[in-house]
Amino acid sequence: MLLSLSQAAKETGKSKSVIANALKKGWISGKHGVKGHWEIDPAELFRVYPPVHAPEPSQERESTARDAMIELLREQLKDAKDREARLLAMLESEQATRRELEVKLLEGPGKKAKRDRK
């Protein structure tokens, strides 16, 4: 299926004058049809000007891979924050236990005996 000048402009997002100039300068090959209008092979057009309606496959794959990597990193960050919270809770518990033991050791055996008698 050959494209008219207007169709080629729509497919590439370029103006008709840009496409016409490319045809005149020989950057794109095309021919004049029976009615005198330009007829352009899409493969020839897209060789010079990529279509605007379809993203390039490599960009789409890169975008998908990037999105997957971002999601994985978000999950890892959430897991790391959860581990950090658990470790902080454990540390606080250990510090409280250590303080209790220090108090008992600093009191000495005599004070403990007096405290037990009461």
- Domain range for 26 is 5-108
pLDDT at 57: 64
**What is the DSSP code (8-state) at residue 4?**
-
How many domains does the structure of the chain reveal?
1
Domain membership flag for residue 31: yes
> Do the domain assignments include residue 74?
yes
For residue range 3-26, what is the model confidence (pLDDT) as tens digits?
999 999 999 999 999 999 999 999
> Which residues touch 18 (CB under 8 Å, ≥6 apart)?
9
Q: Is the pLDDT of residue 113 over 60?
A: no
Phi, psi of 53 (to 5 degrees): -80, -20
Q: Are 28 and 48 in contact (CB under 8 A)?
A: yes
Contact 41, 30 (CB under 8 A): yes
Tens digit of pLDDT for each residue in 27-64?
999 998 888 889 999 999 999 998 886 555 666 677 78
- Checking if the pLDDT of 83 tops 90, the result is yes
| Predicted local distance difference test score (pLDDT) of residue 114 | 56
Residue 28 lies in a domain: yes
| Residue-level pLDDT at 85 | 96
Q: Is residue 115 part of a domain?
A: no
For residue 116, being part of any structural domain is answered with no
Q: Residue 37: inside a domain, yes or no?
A: yes
Q: What is the pLDDT of residue 108?
A: 74
